[in-house]
């Protein structure tokens, strides 16, 4: 954007919103909104604390484990569904149900099944991410150019060769799109899981801060989470742009 002949860097509008926050905070309109400067001060204060770092580590662990399982299980499942009519008929209804289901409602069930710990949080994260990855991989395989499949077949490709050298690559742009949305959903999954189970990670921190009315701390952690989620999403979008350059040219 250009204002008075100056080109403003991206996201400079955030400054304006930050200023507004500061004014509302300083005016003391509500106890729930402390000034931004206080929040940022608290932010740097708690970044160094052991409690925060432990929460960050646990969250990262649950997040990466959950995403890992979602990708490793989701992509092959999606590709196989795209290839096999039988598998597709069997699984597609479930994938669609779970994609649109309010998974938050499932978390208590998971807690009963898998306990109140890390395991439940990882499974929640996976459940949030996996369905869109499956659906996108499936869609990627289904739009594959038939003559590419025939080509591989006519040159004697084995099923394994066809899977790894044709189907996977042909579906890669869609797969990456699915992984990106899946990971964004996984960020929600890992936080929601922690909030509901609320004895580990940021869930425990939120519980602690809000129970003790430490609003500055509460907002500080929230800003960290939002920033993390946004950074991850932008980074994935960047990767996707680099890898799928050929997608438009198929």
Partner 1 sequence: MSQTKETITPAASTSFESAVSARNISKNYGDVEALRNMSLEFPRGQLTSLLGPSGCGKTTLLKIIAGLLKPTSGEVEVNGKKVTGPGPDRAFVFQDFALLPWATVLRNVAFGLEMRGVATSEREARAEKYIKEVGLAGFENAYPHELSGGMRQRVGLARALAVDAQVLLMDEPFSAVDEQTRRKFQEDLLQLVQNENKTFIFVTHSIEEAVYVSDQIAILLPRPSRVSEIIRPSNFRSKGVDNIRRDPEYLDIVDEIWASLRTYVE
Residue numbers of the site for partner 1 (CB under 8 A)?
145, 147-148, 150-158, 161, 165-166, 169, 172, 246, 249-250
Angle at which helix 50-83 crosses helix 85-100, to 10 degrees, equals: 140
Residue 2 parent element (H or E):
strand 2-3
CB of 176 to partner 1, least distance (A): 13
CB of 240 to partner 1, least distance (A): 15
CB of 243 to partner 1, least distance (A): 9
Between 158 and 212, whose beta carbon lies closer to partner 1? 158
CA separation for the pair 153, 111 (Å, rounded): 47
Between 85 and 249, whose beta carbon lies closer to partner 1? 249
CB of 148 to partner 1, least distance (A): 5
C-alpha 227: how far from chain center: 13
Between 144 and 190, whose beta carbon lies closer to partner 1? 144
Between 11 and 248, whose beta carbon lies closer to partner 1? 248
- 120's CB contacts (< 8 A; 6+ apart) are 107, 110, 111, 113, 114, 193, 197
CA separation for the pair 109, 197 (Å, rounded): 11
Give the bridge partners for 7, in sequence order.
Answer: 2
């Amino acid at each position: 954007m250009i204002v008075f002949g100056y080109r403003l860097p991206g996201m400079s509008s955030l400054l304006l919103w930050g200023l507004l926050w500061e004014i509302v905070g300083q005016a003391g309109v509500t106890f729930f909104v402390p000034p931004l400067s206080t929040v940022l001060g608290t932010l740097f204060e708690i970044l160094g604390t052991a409690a925060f770092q432990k929460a960050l580590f646990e969250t990262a662990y649950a997040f990466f484990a959950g995403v890992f399982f979602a990708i490793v299980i989701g992509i092959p499942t999606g590709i196989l569904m795209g290839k096999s009519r039988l598998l597709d008929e069997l699984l597609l209804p479930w994938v669609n149900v779970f994609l649109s289901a309010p998974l938050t409602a499932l978390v208590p069930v998971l807690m009963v099944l898998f306990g109140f710990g890390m395991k439940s949080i990882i499974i929640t994260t996976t459940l949030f991410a996996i369905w869109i990855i499956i659906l996108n991989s499936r869609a990627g395989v289904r739009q594959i150019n038939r003559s590419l499949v025939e080509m591989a077949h006519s040159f004697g490709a084995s099923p394994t060769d066809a899977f790894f050298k044709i189907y996977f690559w042909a579906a890669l742009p869609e797969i990456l799109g699915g992984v990106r949305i899946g990971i964004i959903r996984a960020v929600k999954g890992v936080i929601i899981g922690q909030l509901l189970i609320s004895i580990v990670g940021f869930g425990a921190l939120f519980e602690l801060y809000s129970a003790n009315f430490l609003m500055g701390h509460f907002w500080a952690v929230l800003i960290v989470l939002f920033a993390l989620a946004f950074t991850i999403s932008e980074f994935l979008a960047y990767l996707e742009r680099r890898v799928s350059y050929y997608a438009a040219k198929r």
